[in-house]
A and B are shown apart, each in its own frame.
Chain A
Amino acid sequence: MALHVPKAPGFASMLKDGSRHFSGMEESVYRNIKACKEFAESLKSAYGPCGMNKMVINHLEKLFVTNDAATIMQELDVEHPAAKIMVMASQMQEQEVGDGTNFVIIFCAALLEAAGDLLQMGLTPSEIVGGYEMALDKALEILPTLVFDEIKDYRNEAEVLKVVRSAVMSKQLGNEDNLAKLITKACVSILPENTAFNVDNVRVCKILGSGLGNSEVVHGLVFKRNVESTIIKKNKAKIAVFSCPIDIAQTETKGTVLIKSAKELKNFSAGEETLLENQIKDIVDAGVNVVVSGGKIGDMAMHFLNKYDIMAVRLLSKFDLRRVCKATNSSVYPKLEKPSVEDLGYADDVYVDEVGDTAIVVFRVGTNESRISTIVLRGATDNYLDDLERAVNDGVNAFKAVTRDQKLLPGAGAVELELARQISSYGDTLPGLEQYSVKKYASALESFIKVFSDNSGMKASEVLAKLYALHHEGKTTYGFNIEDGSDGTVDVKDIGIVDIYLGKQWAIQYATNAASTILQVDQIIMAKRAGGPKARPVKGNDADDD
């Protein structure tokens, strides 16, 4: 664009039309803090076991009913830059640990809110950031000392159960026992001997109808589709997997059939038939009775497969194909040829089943041999199933975290409170200006107890005082009790609510880093929004969009 001879003085006139520029404490720092606070305010009520669900309609008008922070954030499409930094920190937590996303948001916002108070006291952002970093170092130093339990053997279902249960509890209160059992069973059964546990190996198959109580774990795979062949059940299946279509092979170069007489035409068709029959017969001779193909299965091939009593399954995704290989321990053939015996897979049963009105193909592998398991979830509505799936994902991720690090922290807010207590007394020992921000850091950690009590309808200050009293006596495993009729405190050892060390450690780090980044920004320069069609006709009312 052409330059103009400028008229008005000031920096704003130097920028391109439509860009916005905010600078100074008032415009950028306070504004960011306010936006983040408001954003977290709306997520707060979804935190913890008593958290409320949110109904989110995304830009594609799809409806979500969930209290999973990661999903809410993803679908909300946050635009405010500072809130976006918070969201990114939380997404990183999702990638790294798979749980604790809401923790990051609430903690980060609490830190920023506390920073707002400090700024009003006259501290500079860099002093606050310095203090927060000292507090973070201290927190990471204290955290290992708070470990109160350890999973000795993560192949032991009973031991792992309590971790998974705590993770699921915050998403599906009331169903946690049922779900946690399913998840642990699915995870423990497929644990590889020496390589790392892969979250992808626990599949979820959602089938509408019935209730959660009818959900089950299948060792092997379940696909929501029908088979191609007329044979729909095979016991002790020998499986051959082909990534190519099962049909007459085509050359890459264009082929033309050169026929001079009717006889030749007849011979050609006959020749093709025998050729295909031979190929399929080869497969049969190798002992195969189930064929899985990544491409289409030709009519003629189908005829021969049926003739030789072979069950044929067609899978559209090459990843599904690989999963079948993994589950049944076979390898993929890129072209139609006689498979060697060691490349064949084995499954106890391969069959078509009808659950509700959905046809499914089940590859059931022997109990302890499968490397993949599937949790078949049943539920009344799509939204409910989606929410169950998210809970399962959190549970599986919790299990993964346990396979990497077996240390456990007391849950139910106990660990946050103890950190707050110790960091606050650490703050007292500091000489400089940092002590204020270190103490505020501690009070930000308290906010979790406040959120818990707000969400379950108790008086935050009372519970907080009681818990502090208990912790001072050295009962550091006391946490918040959501049950009615109690005084709000409970020893988490008794009720078995645990947090994973790894998850907390990363969450605290990501939240503090995000808060520091936001605080260090003193100017925001926003370019004009790029053109193009507006993606969403219905604008969600983002609290942070001012």
Chain B
Amino acid sequence: MAAINILNPKAEFARAAQALSINISAARGISEVMKSNLGPKGTMKMLVSGAGDIKVTKDGNVLLHEMQIQHPTASLIAKASTAHDDIVGDGTTSIVLLIGEIMKQADGLIGEGVHPRVITDGLEIAREEAMKVLDLMATPADCTDREVLINLARTSLRTKVHRKLADLLADICVDAVQCIYENGKPLDLHMIEMMEMQHRNELQSTLVKGLVMDHGGRHPDMPKSLTNCYILTCNVSLEFEKTEVNSGFFYSTAEAREKLLASEREFIEQRVRKIIALKKEVCPAGSDKNFVVINQKGIDPLSLDLLSKEGILGLRRAKRRNMERLSLACGGTAMNSVDDLTPECLGYAGSVYEHVIGEDKFTFVEECRNPKSVTMLLKGPTKHSMAQMKDAVRDGLRSLFNVCQDGVLVPGAGAYELALSKSLENLQVQSRSVLGVKLFARAILIIPKVLVTNAGHDAHDVILKSMQCNGQGDTVVGLDLDTGDTLLPSAAGIFDNYSVKKQIIDASIVVASNLLLCDEIMRAGLSSLKG
């Protein structure tokens, strides 16, 4: 009978050894589930939501978000790793695996009577060593070097999607980043828009150096394709709006009503006429220049009609964030009133055209002069394949973002984990904490082990082989998953982010230590009421 039961007879609890075993089994359980997803050779998971929607993914972050975990310990681990994903954008599965493995190794030691505190102390020492090794292995990277960026993006993407697709997306990601990157300024990934288009297959995804909007001109007579266009972005209502106050017209003859009707329109028509006047100014009759109006507010049918008579393409109800991107992509400024229109506030795009797929219309604004905002056009045959791509691209972009921030890279393909394990084994520690250090040295090997197992090779064989190689000189050796042999990550172009690795070690040690040091789980609530 625990003390808490006296205070609250309805409380649920688990104490000491029981609490620990719950934590350990949860951590191991969740890592068992995620195991098969790690690395380029990992398999997929299919998630079916309550509404019957399908998601096929091997992105740890997506999985943890969608799985609806109820177990307190498991959900703690899940939250820690997804939070980590929010910061650096990758490495979710690794954290879960590492926590699971630390707990598994600790289970054995605790069974032999080692106090959890000794283990956690050892983990702290191991962490410091890990950071030293990481700094040693980091190689400076030039984030304007295309080759480096492509290698990095490829490493990240190949763990998420099919190889061919990964290579294509890596190119797209790097192109996009290079387009918007300005030296000395932090990268703003929001300036890369992702547009999904259910069409053809994944390999037809492209980068549009401009903007793609998911709506089209609303008037059947408006031009569908224009070249050499001036672009006016504005936030001006071109439709009749009722007054705020209660108002009414009084008339006694039909003529008077007609007059009122005309003057009612006059207000809006004046605005439209100002736009048309500007159009006439910049595109004199006979020139090959064209004019496009993209409005954040509405344009009513009558105004559309006026615009279409002038051959102007008018888009209404553009998204707010697109307005911002438009002025970055095409130049010009977004106007809030039509009173001070000047040719200077116009943007320019070489080509504007409408593309119709089934019921959906897309408007492409392309061939901009110096685009500072670009759009990734993700195509895929099904919703789930597009979602998968979107998640992957997000990770790819984040990895590029990270390298621009860090300025350094770490060799991938399990090289860091192998080297760290080795250096921890050799570390001289003069206290009982050595147990914890050794524990971590074994636990960190889970990453390369799982990578190898998923590729269908024998984990121990490969690990042993690479350990031997690592001993000779100070070359950095990683794993070749295709052959089950060793390789040089730098030669194969496999790189990881410095900050991701750092976070993985940090987060997993903190969470694992917390779980190990926990000796009671209780829930003192009104459990009799509901659920």
Bound-state CA distance A529–B51 (Å) is 6
Contacts of A89 in B (CB 8 A): 381-382
Given contacts A126-B41, A255-B251, contact A15 B523 (CB under 8 A): no
On whether the beta carbons of B36 and A522 are closer than 8 Å, the reply is yes
A82→B220 CA distance, assembly (Å): 41
- In the bound complex, residues from chain A placing their C-beta under 8 Å from that of B25 are 9-10
Q: Is the CB of A1 within 8 A of B531?
A: yes
Report the Cα distance A338→B29, complex, angstroms. 77
Name the contact of B381 in the complex, choosing from A4, A11, A513 (C-beta under 8 A): A513
On whether the beta carbons of A243 and B301 are closer than 8 Å, the reply is yes
Whether A272 contacts B264 in the complex (CB less than 8 A), given A11-B29, A520-B44, comes out as: no
Complex contact B252–A264 (CB within 8 A): yes
CB of A262 within 8 Å of the partner chain? no
Whether B48 contacts A258 by the Cβ 8 Å rule is no
CB within 8 Å for A88 and B302 given contacts A2-B531, A527-B50: no
Query: What is the size, in residues, of chain A's interface with B at 8 Å between Cβ atoms?
Result: 74
Residue B72 is within 8 A (CB to CB) of chain A in the complex: yes
Query: Chain B 26-45 against A: per-residue CB contact (8 Å), 1 yes, 0 no?
Result: 10011011001000010111
Contact B33 A268 (CB under 8 A): no
A306 within 8 A of B: no
Residues on A with C-beta less than 8 A from B260 are: 251, 255
A1–B529 Cα distance when bound, in Å, is 13
Of the residues A81, A274, A522, contact of B43 by C-beta under 8 Å: A522
The reply to whether A92 and B381 form a contact with Cβ atoms under 8 Å apart is yes
Measured CB to CB, the nearest residue on chain A to B454 is A126
- Picked from A28, A243, A256, the residue with its CB within 8 Å of the CB of B248 is A256
A526: B residues at CB distance < 8 A: 47-48
**Contact call B249/A254, Cβ cutoff below 8 A:** yes
Chain A residues numbered 301-358 whose CB sits less than 8 Å from any CB in chain B = 322, 325-326, 331-335
Set B30, B198, B255, B522: member contacting A275, Cβ < 8 A: B255
Among A6, A257, A268, A528, contact of B72 (Cβ-Cβ < 8 Å):
A6
A120, CB-defined interface residue at 8 Å: no
- The 8 Å CB contact of B71, one of A14, A19, A521, is A14
Residues of B within 8 A of A252 (CB): 240, 242, 264
Residues of B within 8 A of A259 (CB): 252
- Complex Cα distance, B455 from A124, in Å, reads 10
Of B198, B252, B357, B523, which one neighbours A5 at CB under 8 angstroms?
B523
Residues of A within 8 A of B523 (CB): 2-5
Which one of B33, B68, B243 has the greatest number of beta carbons of chain A within 10 Å? B68
Does the CB pair B252–A92 fall under 8 Å?
Answer: no
Contact residue among A11, A95, A525 (Cβ-Cβ distance under 8 Å from B45): A525
- Selected from B36, B254, B382, B521, the residue in CB contact (under 8 A) with A92 is B382
Specify which chain A residues have a CB less than 8 angstroms from the CB of B70 in the assembled complex.
1, 3-4, 13-17
Decide yes or no whether A461 CB sits under 8 A from chain B: no
A501-534 contacts to B, CB under 8 A, are 509-510, 513, 517, 520-530
Contact B252 A268 (CB under 8 A): yes
Are B254 and A272 closer than 8 Å at their CB atoms? Answer: yes
- Which chain B residues border A510 with CB–CB below 8 Å? 201, 381
- 1/0 contact string of B233-268 vs chain A (CB within 8 Å): 000000010110001111111110110110010000
**Cα separation A335 to B248 with both chains bound (whole Å):** 22
Residue of B nearest to A16 (CB): B68
- Min distance, Cβ B525 to any Cβ of chain A, angstroms: 7
Measured CB to CB, the nearest residue on chain B to A319 is B220
A125 sits at the interface (CB 8 A): yes
Rounded to whole angstroms, the CA-CA distance of A520 and B37 in the bound complex is 11
Q: With a CB–CB cut-off of 8 A, which chain A residues contact B531?
A: 1-2
Q: Does B429 contact A (CB under 8 A)?
A: no
| Complex Cα–Cα for A257 and B75 (A) | 69
Closest to B300 in A: A334
Q: Is the CB of A4 within 8 A of B382?
A: no
Q: Chain B: how many interface residues by the 8 Å CB criterion?
A: 75
**Which residues of B have CB within 8 Å of A85?**
54, 56, 382, 384
Within A236-255, which residues are at the interface with B (CB < 8 Å)? 243, 248-249, 251-255
CB distance from B23 to the nearest CB of A (A): 10
Say whether A523 contacts B33, CB under 8 Å. Answer: yes
Is A213 part of the binding interface, using a Cβ–Cβ cutoff of 8 Å?
Answer: no
Distance between Cα atoms of A405 and B381 in the complex (Å): 20
Q: Is A96 an interface residue (CB 8 A)?
A: yes
Q: Taking the complex as formed, is A425 at the interface, i.e. its CB lies under 8 A from any CB of chain B?
A: no
Is A23's CB within 8 Å of the partner chain B? yes
- Residue of A2, A17, A79 ringed by the most chain B CB atoms within 10 A: A2
CB proximity of A129 to chain B, nearest CB, Å: 9
Rounded to whole angstroms, the CA-CA distance of A81 and B50 in the bound complex is 12
A509 to B71 Cα, complex, angstroms: 42
Known: A5-B13, A325-B220, A334-B301. A525 touches B252 (CB 8 A): no
Q: Does residue A267 face the partner (Cβ distance < 8 Å to B)?
A: yes
Q: Does B52 contact A (CB under 8 A)?
A: yes
Are B47 and A88 neighbours in the complex by a CB distance under 8 Å? no
Interface centre among A95, A256, A517 (most CB of B within 10 A): A517
Q: Beta-carbon contacts of B55-84 to A below 8 Å, as 1s and 0s?
A: 010000000001111111111000000000
Interface string of A76-95 (1 = CB under 8 A from B): 00010110110011001001
Q: Is the CB of A257 within 8 A of B252?
A: yes
Which residues on the B side are within 8 Å of A79 (C-beta)?
A: 52
B residues 479-531 touching A (CB-CB < 8 Å): 521-523, 525, 527, 531
Q: Which residue of B lies closest to A255 (CB)?
A: B249
Q: Which one of B33, B198, B249, B383 lies within 8 Å of A256 (CB-CB)?
A: B249
> B358 contacts the other chain (Cβ, under 8 Å)?
yes
Chain A residues with Cβ below 8 Å from B255 are 271, 275
A487 to B28, CA, bound (A): 63
Tell me which of B54, B243, B305, B381 contacts A84 (CB under 8 A): B54
- Cross-chain contact B45 with A249 (CB below 8 angstroms): no
A176 to chain B, nearest CB (A): 27
**CB-based nearest A residue for B22:** A6
Which residues from A are CB-within-8-Å of B383? Answer: 88
Return the chain A residue nearest B41 by Cβ.
A126
Q: Do A253 and B248 have beta carbons less than 8 Å apart?
A: yes
User: C-beta contact mask, A179-213 vs B, less than 8 Å → 1, else 0?
Assistant: 00000000000000000000000000000000000
Chain B residues with Cβ below 8 Å from A335 are 302
- Assembled-state Cα–Cα distance A28/B48 (Å): 13
User: Told that A13-B70, A15-B68, A253-B248 touch, could you supply 16 new A-B pairs with CB distance under 8 A?
Assistant: A3-B72, A6-B73, A11-B30, A11-B32, A14-B74, A88-B384, A92-B381, A92-B382, A95-B198, A126-B43, A249-B257, A254-B248, A256-B248, A271-B254, A275-B254, A334-B302
Write 7 A-B pairs (CB below 8 A) sorted by A numbering: A5-B12, A14-B69, A15-B67, A15-B69, A85-B384, A251-B264, A258-B251
Q: Which 4 A-B pairs have the closest CB atoms?
A: A14-B71, A530-B50, A271-B254, A92-B381
